[in-house]
């Protein structure tokens, strides 16, 4: 077999349990891929989105569900060598990418507060719009299991809120469009193992902020949380699973306040209602 075939085959052989089975479980459990879908797989050039593209290709080959794929790469202002790396990896892996350009990096360069948040939102908006031009009804992103549990802890520790990262959601700004996360159950360590096993080199972060200094990445809150989880796993190996499952076992009656569909429900209001005599 040539190198591409070896890389593809490793997903369903060597990493069948850690990657392929968990990928398929997430797709089926949350009905992420449905009959007649046209899905834009969004590729940033990193390990997660590249693996996602290969898994979606494999699913397309073997699934009984009929759907179509587009592979979107947005160039937000990459340095020439970073774009070249994405293109060479796409060629190696047999991913027919559709590349379009934007000025996202230039737009956020002067932003002092939360530039990464703004960058992510702008990138997603451009991806939705380009996907619609290609007649897609869904975009697929490469968020994985670790992104989910880190998001839960980030919300609690730094955002003073309890929230998770759902496996799919409806776009509020682009009617008829959905976002799906097919790697929802796949752990980052298995993705790293797959990458290293196949001697693949992908982009990490090609943002101008991290290009100028590694301080932003090293001091990021997400990295702090990642390290915290790794430390806790030394004494409790199931801590990551417990964090993940906490989003499935929410006891709403114990919460002081929560909102659903934009409506907030306070504790005293609910407490009074529970104590009222039945009508």
Q: Which CATH class is domain 3-252?
A: alpha beta
**Range of weakest confidence among 22-31, 98-107, 255-264:** 98-107
pTM greater than 0.85 (yes/no): yes
Look at residues 58, 66, 65, 60 and name the one whose alpha carbon lies nearest to residue 13: 58
The b/e string for 82-95 (b: 16+ C-beta within 10 A; e otherwise) is bbebbeebbeebeb
Encode pLDDT of 20-57 as tens digits: 999 999 999 999 999 999 999 999 999 999 999 999 99
Q: According to the model, what pLDDT value does residue 207 have?
A: 62
- Dist CA 161 CA 164 (whole Å): 10
Residue 218 reports pLDDT greater than 70: no
Residue 124 reports pLDDT greater than 80: yes
Residue 111 reports pLDDT greater than 70: no
Residue 7 reports pLDDT greater than 50: yes
Domain edges within the chain: 3-252
For residue 42, what are the β-bridge partners? 72
- Dist CA 127 CA 135 (whole Å): 12
Query: How far is the CA of 191 from the CAs of 30, 40, 82, 215, 264, in angstroms?
Result: 21, 21, 21, 25, 39
For residue 204, what are the β-bridge partners? none
Sequence-ordered strand ranges (E) for 67-111 = 68-75, 97-101
Q: According to the model, what pLDDT value does residue 108 have?
A: 67
Beta carbons within 8 Å of 68's beta carbon, 6+ residues apart = 37, 38, 39
Q: According to the model, what pLDDT value does residue 57 have?
A: 98
- Dist CA 171 CA 205 (whole Å): 25
- Dist CA 160 CA 220 (whole Å): 17
Q: According to the model, what pLDDT value does residue 224 have?
A: 93
């Amino acid at each position: 077999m040539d190198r591409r075939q070896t890389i593809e085959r490793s997903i369903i052989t060597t990493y069948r349990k850690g990657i392929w089975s968990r990928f398929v479980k997430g797709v089926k459990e949350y009905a992420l891929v449905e009959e007649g879908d046209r899905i834009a797989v969004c590729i940033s050039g990193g390990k997660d989105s590249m693996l996602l593209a290969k898994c979606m290709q494999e699913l397309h080959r073997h699934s009984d569900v009929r759907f179509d794929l587009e592979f979107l790469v947005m160039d937000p202002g990459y340095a020439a060598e970073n774009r070249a790396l994405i293109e060479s990896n796409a060629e190696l892996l047999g991913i027919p990418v559709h590349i379009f350009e934007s000025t996202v990096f230039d737009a956020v360069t002067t932003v002092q507060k939360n530039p990464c948040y703004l960058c992510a939102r702008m990138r997603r908006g451009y991806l939705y719009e380009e996907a619609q031009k290609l007649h897609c009804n869904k975009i697929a992103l490469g968020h994985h299991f670790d992104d989910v549990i880190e998001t839960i802890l980030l919300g609690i520790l730094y955002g003073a809120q309890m929230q998770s990262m759902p496996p799919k959601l409806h776009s509020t700004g682009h009617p008829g469009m959905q976002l799906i996360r097919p790697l929802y159950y796949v752990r980052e360590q298995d993705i790293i193992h797959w990458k290293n096993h196949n001697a693949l080199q992908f982009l990490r972060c090609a943002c101008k902020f991290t290009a100028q200094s590694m301080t932003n990445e090293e001091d990021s809150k997400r990295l702090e949380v990642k390290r915290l989880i790794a430390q806790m796993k030394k004494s409790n190996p199931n801590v990551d699973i417990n964090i993940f499952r906490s989003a499935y076992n929410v006891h709403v009656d114990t919460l002081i306040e929560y909102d659903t569909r934009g409506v907030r429900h306070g504790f005293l209001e609910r407490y009074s209602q529970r104590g009222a005599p039945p009508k």
